[in-house]
Amino acid sequence: MSKTYVPAQLRRVVAERTKNCCAYCLQPEVFAFCSHEIDHVIAEKHGGETVAGNLALACKLCNTYKGSDIASVDPESREIVRLYQPGRDRWSEHFRLEGAELVPLSAIARTTVWLLELNRAERLEERPFWLASRLLSWLEEVV
């Protein structure tokens, strides 16, 4: 959740990185009912700064689930694991698409998928349309 005003120019830079798609669930903004938001990857309350490297475009749902969290409990190991950090972590090292499902390749991804409910039913229903839109071609570029 962002408390600090993010200048339009900075928002554009961050949004462009994922071509206006949510950096977590991959939803293109044009498919969303409300505008995507700017997420502080490391929340301000933990000392995260309002700079491009610490910001990510996130849909309303992902930003709400994530809140100011930077870690959670891995549903498998029950260890505390940090969350996926868009812009710092390489997407392809942590996730793989299997049909519409985001398959976690790391404990970091598993914990993020769980906390942000990245594979909840309606997302699995909608994601094929996001993929078919070709708006996710940035995944290949960014990864």
- Shortest reach from residue 119's CB to Zn ion, in Å: 12
Give the list of residues 6+ apart from residue 95 with CB closer than 8 angstroms, or none. Answer: 84, 102, 103, 104, 105, 109
Q: Among 17, 20, 21, 24, which residue sits at the site for Zn ion (rule: CB under 5 A)?
A: 24
Q: Among 14, 15, 21, 22, which residue sits at the site for Zn ion (rule: CB under 5 A)?
A: 22
| By the rule CB under 5 A, 55 interacts with Zn ion | no
Of residues 93, 51, 48, the one with CA closest to residue 66: 48
Beta carbon nearer to Zn ion, 18 or 27? 27
Q: How many CB atoms lie within 10 A of CB 110?
A: 20
- Shortest reach from residue 25's CB to Zn ion, in Å: 3
Interacting residues toward Zn ion by CB under 5 A: 22, 24-25, 27, 59, 62
